[in-house]
Structure 1
Amino acid sequence: MRPISVNFHLWKPCNYHCRFCFATFRDVQGYLTFSDATRLLLLLREAGTEKINFAGGEPTLHPYLGELLSESRRLGFVTSIVSNGARIAELLEKHTGNIDWVALSVDSASEVIQKKLGRGNGDHVQRSIALFDELHRYTIHVKLNTVVTRLNFQEDMSEFVRRVRPERWKVFQVLPVDGQNDGSVEELLISTQQFQEFVERHQALLGENFRPVVETNDLMRDSYVMINPQGQFYNTTTGRHLYSSSILEVGVDAALAQVGWNVDNFLARGGIYAWE
């Protein structure tokens, strides 16, 4: 199967310090130039990629995200941004027409818990609600991303979900990755049963078109096609990041074959949906 949807982690800088982040890229230096990044996008498009998800770090802080969104639109991609909301408002002013989807990351409706998790300084929830409202006004498709940890697995986020009205709500079991979040994630880990408790608590949302897209650790690993800031595919099969050769040097097919991709898990977690 061609890599129909790709997560491109543009760079590692971020304005937050989420304790569970598995994309800190401690072992990666620098990021692609604009010229190399656009060449990478062209290679992906030629290989059959339809949707490009720009992630980080925090992608909205990237110096030429707007230009990459424009180039992605020119190439015919469905575009998506996974963000904590840092500079979404500024980006919308100039590049609304080049953005199809925005996924905002909110793990709890409690400002206290968000701060304890390292996401924000006590105002992340209210800022996110305002951004969801703005995205709805622009008629941009919205997703809500929630990482379930020991600090929030007993929470009921139903009221918050109804308030922000995401088209997709992605619910992730906190994922430990050696070399990325070790030393900070251990106290946040939960069992699959505890994760399932969180999921079951939100079953009432099923009839309201807010069905959670649920991803356990086993389902998450290797089900994404991911690219690091240096333009290499990577996965977490071994519990650490495994990197391919440079895509620009060996091509999409050869580089992806070096790290692998679990297509069955990709399909099982709903990786293909009506994103057009």
Structure 2
Amino acid sequence: MKKLKVNLHLIEACNYRCRHCFAHFDKHNVLTPETWINIIDNAVASGMVTSFNFAGGEPLLYPHLTSLAEYANSLGCKCSVITNGSCIDEEWIKNNVSLFTTIGFSLDSFFPDTLRKIGRCDTNGRVLDLDRIKEIFTLIKKYNPSIKIKVNTVVSAINKDETPGELIRKHDLPVDRWKILRMSPFENDRFSNKDITVTDEEYTEYITRNLSAFGINTISEKVLYNTDAGMEIVCESNLNGTYIMIDAGGYLVDDTKNSNYVRVINCADTPFSDGISKLTFDSEIYEARYKK
């Protein structure tokens, strides 16, 4: 198995309310940076972890994101972050892009009406439109030409008929990796997204249409596709058991038991390797998304 990447969900708070969002954990107090440093140390000490992805909620709302990324870098770990992009400006880019090998953006559509239907907007209905996306991507590459820009798109009943691949190509967006994810259904006493799920056929049609925008006309069971422009496209219809996630309370969680997350261990006080041994984890699918 390759060395592992761990997703640290630093905070549940988010300024968007996306209908499909899978980051609905139990409510926790926001952990101190000292606790997260302890968790990072624990993961690295296992000898299994060499990179961290900072997630949320919206991780840029966590006030100590920068210091945690600096600390993980000091241990020789690679860092990435996945954001909705709304909190990013040139000052943030200038001061932070050197800390990350990849910055990922959750972009489910380029159409404002669709984004508002999804809930990918603030309370005033402001969205990250195409012009702003182009500006942000250009600034990121300006301050760190070697950084990779990733786009995550979650396919739901709201955006299933769109072809963002055409716009990525038309506007020559500097996207290194595009991950197309099928929405995962979740339901508990405070959240449900089951009304916007997509069928197998709808997801396959979305994949086929968007791969075709890059001249890829042969669809197979594989996860990773490479375009002539050098962009990787990762297609994942089932996310369960293929990511290693630590929730905002510091718990390693398992998403294969039911439609919610099940805590495995508290990573602040239990050896990380103990948790991995108890976690339902599909290493083959995990590695497939990185194979050329």
Partner residue in 1 for 2:181: 172
The 5 Å alignment of 1:140-219 reads: 140-162=147-169, 163=171, 164-179=173-188, 182-183=191-192, 185-204=193-212, 205=214, 206-217=227-238
**Which ranges of structure 1 fall in alignment gaps of 5 or more residues?**
none
Structure 2 residue matching 1:187: 3-state secondary structure = helix
Partner residue in 1 for 2:135: 130
Structure 2 residue matching 1:97: 3-state secondary structure = helix
Partner residue in 2 for 1:82: 82
| C-alpha deviation, 1:211, in angstroms | 4.1
Partner residue in 1 for 2:117: 116
Q: Which residue type is aligned with residue 203 of structure 2?
A: F
In structure 2, distance between residues paired with 1:15 and 1:42: 30
| C-alpha deviation, 1:254, in angstroms | 1.0
| C-alpha deviation, 1:239, in angstroms | 1.9
In structure 2, distance between residues paired with 1:94 and 1:166: 21
Matched, 1:258 2:257: no
Q: Contact 2:51 / 2:77 at 8 angstroms: preserved in 1?
A: yes
Aligned residues: CA RMSD: 1.9
With 7-16 and 248-257 compared, the bigger mean Cα shift is at 248-257
Structure 1 residue matching 2:260: 3-state secondary structure = coil
Identity %: 26
| C-alpha deviation, 1:66, in angstroms | 0.7
Q: TM-score, normalised by structure 2?
A: 0.86
Q: When you count helix as a share of all residues, which structure comes out higher?
A: 1
In structure 2, distance between residues paired with 1:250 and 1:12: 22
| C-alpha deviation, 1:273, in angstroms | 5.9
Q: TM-score, normalised by structure 1?
A: 0.90
In structure 1, distance between residues paired with 2:109 and 2:189: 22
In structure 1, distance between residues paired with 2:200 and 2:229: 25
| C-alpha deviation, 1:203, in angstroms | 2.3
